[in-house]
């Protein structure tokens, strides 16, 4: 069994993913970490030196390699589901759980962080609203299940995901 976490930056994919993996005895992997490791470059450097389009290409290449993963919680970069081909391949290996959060919540979670190239702008909250607005439909259509994390602790989100997975008995 695999569980794939999708959603915007700061929606809690990494914090929830680590804890979820621990609770279920699964491995944890993050597609951004795979990319940074194989390219030997930070995500910021890939964006600034090679451009976003190249980063999106690398994301699709990573998804192809995930096809033989078994027993993983897979946290994906916030733009992973923008390409329908990525969504299609991800759905073959497990359910896609969308971690949702309101823009203000996302802003509060990420405001002291530096590693997200798309949010290194003068007014990150406005940028979050713009990008999220553009993506909301795509996230929701890709998702097999949605958890609104805005008012929940990491533990509560983890338990909601587990409840959903057990109910649907995803193998
Ligand atoms: C991106 C999200 C980031 C990372 C890259 C682009 C996006 O991942 O893949 O900066 O387009 O939303 P996180 O969601 O893990 O921050």
Q: What is the pLDDT of residues 94-137, one digit of tens each?
A: 999 999 999 999 999 999 888 888 888 999 999 999 999 999 99
* 3-class secondary structure per residue, 104-139: HHHHHHHCCCCCCHHHCCCCHHHHHHHHHHHHHHHH
User: What per-residue confidence (pLDDT) applies to 113?
Assistant: 87
pLDDT in tens, 21-72: 999 999 999 999 999 999 999 999 999 999 999 999 999 999 999 999 999 9
Residue 77 beta carbon below 6 angstroms from any ligand 1 atom:
yes
Q: Given strand 72-75, what is the order of strands in its sheet?
A: 27-30, 72-75, 3-6, 96-100, 145-148
C-alpha 167 to ligand 1 mean position (Å): 30
pLDDT higher than 70, residue 171: no
Cα 74 versus chain centre, distance: 8
**Global confidence as pTM:** 0.96
Residue 170 confidence (pLDDT) above 80: no
Residue nearest to atom 2 of ligand 1 (CA): 78
pLDDT of residue 164: 94
Is there an atom of ligand 1 within 6 Å of 9 CB? yes
Q: CA-CA distance, 20 to 7, in Å (whole number)?
A: 16
Q: Is the CB of 152 under 6 A from ligand 1?
A: no
Cα-flanking dihedrals φ and ψ of residue 168, to 5°?
A: -95, -5
């Amino acid at each position: 069994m695999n569980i794939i976490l999708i959603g915007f930056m700061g929606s809690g994919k990494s914090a929830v993913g680590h804890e979820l993996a621990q609770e279920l005895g699964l491995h944890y992997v993050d597609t951004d970490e795979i990319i940074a490791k194989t390219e030997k470059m930070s995500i910021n450097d890939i964006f600034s030196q090679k451009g976003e389009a190249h980063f999106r290409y690398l994301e699709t290449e990573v998804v192809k390699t995930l096809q033989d993963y078994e027993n993983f919680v897979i946290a994906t970069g916030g733009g992973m589901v923008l390409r329908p081909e990525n969504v299609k391949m991800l759905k073959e290996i497990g359910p896609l759980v969308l971690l949702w959060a309101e823009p203000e919540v996302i802003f509060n979670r990420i405001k002291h962080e530096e590693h997200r190239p798309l949010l290194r702008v003068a007014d990150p909250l406005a940028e979050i609203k713009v990008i999220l607005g553009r993506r909301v439909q795509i996230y929701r259509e890709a998702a097999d299940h949605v958890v609104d994390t805005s008012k929940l602790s990491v533990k509560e989100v983890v338990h909601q995901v587990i409840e959903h997975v057990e109910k649907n008995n995803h193998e």
